[in-house]
Amino acid sequence: MKARDRRLLDELERALARGSGLRLAYQPKVATDDGRLVRVEALVRWTHKELGPVPPTAFVPLAEEHGLIDQLTQWVLRTGLRQWREWQREGLETSLAVNISAVSLEHLDFPDLVERLCRALGMPTDRLVLELTEGATQPLIKLMDTLTRFRIKGVGLAVDDFGTGYSGLIQLRRLPFTEIKIDRQFVTDLPHSRDDAVIVRSVVELAHGLGLQVTAEGVETVEQLAILRRLGCDLVQGYLLAQPLEAKELVPWASRHKRRWKLLVRPPEDPH
């Protein structure tokens, strides 16, 4: 292991033990039909005293490889669920999405643990969605048993970064998913790329045929939003709607967003 990785890992272990330096950012997902807030995705953030901010893409894979991922996942779940309850008290209705590493799903008792956590914090299990990205080595089908246990308990399951991993929709139909998140790479070049529009359209059609909800991630422009609405995506997420926010920013964001949505979906003005 490289010296820097070793250091990151040691420091992460310390941060998890003390709960210091770690926090969650929250990024809204909104419905394309009326812009309402449907879900908030928790994204882990780590700021180290000396190293500064360390991106999750740098430390999550390390945690996965070196046995820290379950601890990290549990910290994220506990923190996210507590925050959800706080919003609930403030009158903000939303469900919560949490990114889960496939490694954590290898434990068959993980669904029970999550259910107990939900019960302890008063969150109905159907308000929770787990986002899973396919690992380079592990197709999601291997996790069938754990995924099924989650579905029986009512927890939602989303395929994250769809289009980058193993599964086509054909394999997915055998898995108990409830949502597909189309990877940002298929969104970025809309509306110029005909190919990407065709891909998005067919993913939406097939997903809807299988009864799955479709989210587009990485939406940055009003033009992309217009196309994604036309192609029938159910939910959108991205910097156009909101950057990942601090917990306390969400309620003020939600009231600003209600007014702003009308402007975002206004038809372009006729130049003549």
Burial class (CB in 10 A: 0-12, 13-18, 19+), 145: exposed
> What binding mask, one character per residue, do residues 207-226 give for Mg ion by CB under 5 A, x or -?
----------x---------
Distance of CA 142 to the CA centre of its chain: 21
Q: Which is nearer to ligand C2E, 89 or 186 (CB)?
A: 186
Restricting to residues 124-153, name those near ligand C2E by CB under 6 A: 131, 133
Does the protein bind ligand C2E through residue 161 (CB under 6 A)?
yes
Using alpha carbons, select from 186, 271, 187, 260 the residue that is nearest to residue 223: 187
Output the CA–CA distances (angstroms, integers) from residue 93 to 96, 123, 127, 256, 267, in the order listed: 10, 12, 10, 16, 29
Closest residue to ligand C2E: CB criterion: 238
| Cα–Cα distance measured from residue 127 to residue 100, given in angstroms and rounded to the nearest whole number | 16
DSSP 173: T
Give the contacts of 237 (CB within 8 A, at least 6 positions apart): 27, 28, 29, 30, 41, 181, 215, 216, 217, 218, 219
Asked if 160 touches ligand C2E (CB under 6 A), the answer is yes
Q: Does 99 bind ligand C2E (CB under 6 A)?
A: yes
60 near ligand C2E (CB under 6 A): yes
The only residue of 13, 70, 205, 220 in contact with ligand C2E, by rule CB under 6 A: 220
Subset of 68-97 contacting ligand C2E (CB under 6 A): 76
**Exactly one of 86, 161, 205, 249 binds Mg ion (CB under 5 A); which one?**
161
Contact footprint for ligand C2E (CB under 6 A): 27, 43-44, 55-57, 60, 76, 99-101, 131, 133, 160-161, 217-220, 238-239, 244
